[in-house]
Chains A and B, each alone.
Chain A
Amino acid sequence: GDSVTQMEGPVTLSEEAFLTINCTYTATGYPSLFWYVQYPGEGLQLLLKATKADDKGSNKGFEATYRKETTSFHLEKGSVQVSDSAVYFCALSLRSNDYKLSFGAGTTVTVRA
């Protein structure tokens, strides 16, 4: 079935460090790909998305590129801040599945001052 695999956490970084969270997917067809973020005590919110191969999604200094050849959508940020501490979820949706989202397990990121 369609699924998303994320790198396991938790990830702990110092401020201004480079962040990468790996995400790979398995899907029959051409999914849209998403990163959602969940700050402590809150619901998830959309961080960025890409709908076709080679698209780059970006928001709040985060970027991810849809790589069809490696079935990946890795999230990166060049210089993290304490406020980036959150749980990050990779997800996919397919037209064949009525665009319902399939989520990865989530990666907890803690940024220390």
Chain B
Amino acid sequence: NAGVTQTPKFQVLKTGQSMTLQCAQDMNHNSMYWYRQDPGMGLRLIYYSASEGTTDKGEVPNGYNVSRLNKREFSLRLESAAPSQTSVYFCATNRVAGELFFGEGSRLTVL
């Protein structure tokens, strides 16, 4: 039982390049989330999806897009990466209110 799987785990981009972070869950949960983690700032919600076919902005959505491809998969896309998007990104799913299951994270560096 893999839980929440994120790919890639590490990525280095140049400013202006694009990339997609993939997230897949095998827990049959409806809700999925993308967070970013930056030193001293905790985790900030980028986008979330309450169910298949729906997505909503979180606290810091600018510069990102998401796709809820199906119940299992929720991808995060950076269309034109900027150094300010250097961060660790976490995907999570929700079993019950507030109880999230997280992936291991994707460390992104934008030069």
Q: Mark B92-109, 1 if CB is under 8 A from A, else 0.
A: 101001111111110000
Q: Restricting to A71-113, which residues have a CB under 8 Å from any CB of B?
A: 89, 91, 93, 95, 98-101, 103-106
Q: Is B4 an interface residue (CB 8 A)?
A: yes
- Inter-chain CA distance A95–B33, complex, in Å, is 17
Contact yes or no, B41 A91, CB < 8 A:
no
A106 to B4 alpha-carbon distance, docked (Å): 22
State the main secondary structure of chain A at its contact with B: strand
* Partner-contacting stretch, out of B11-19, B42-50, B62-70, B73-81: B42-50
Query: What A residues does B105 contact at CB under 8 A?
Result: 42-43
B35 closest partner in A (C-beta): A103
Pick the most buried of A42, A43, A105: most chain B CB atoms within 10 A of its CB: A43
Question: In the complex, how many angstroms separate the beta carbon of A74 from the nearest chain B beta carbon?
Answer: 17
A101 touches B102 (CB 8 A): no
What number of residue pairs across chains A and B have CB atoms under 8 A from each other?
54
Q: With an 8 A cutoff between CB atoms, is B40 at the interface?
A: yes
28 A–B pairs (Cβ distance < 8 Å), ordered by A: A32-B98, A36-B100, A42-B105, A43-B4, A43-B90, A43-B102, A43-B103, A43-B105, A44-B43, A44-B90, A44-B92, A45-B101, A46-B100, A49-B99, A89-B43, A91-B98, A93-B97, A95-B97, A99-B94, A100-B33, A100-B58, A101-B45, A103-B42, A103-B43, A103-B44, A105-B42, A106-B40, A106-B42
Interface, chain B (partner A; CB < 8 A): 4, 33, 40-45, 48, 50, 58, 90, 92, 94, 97-105
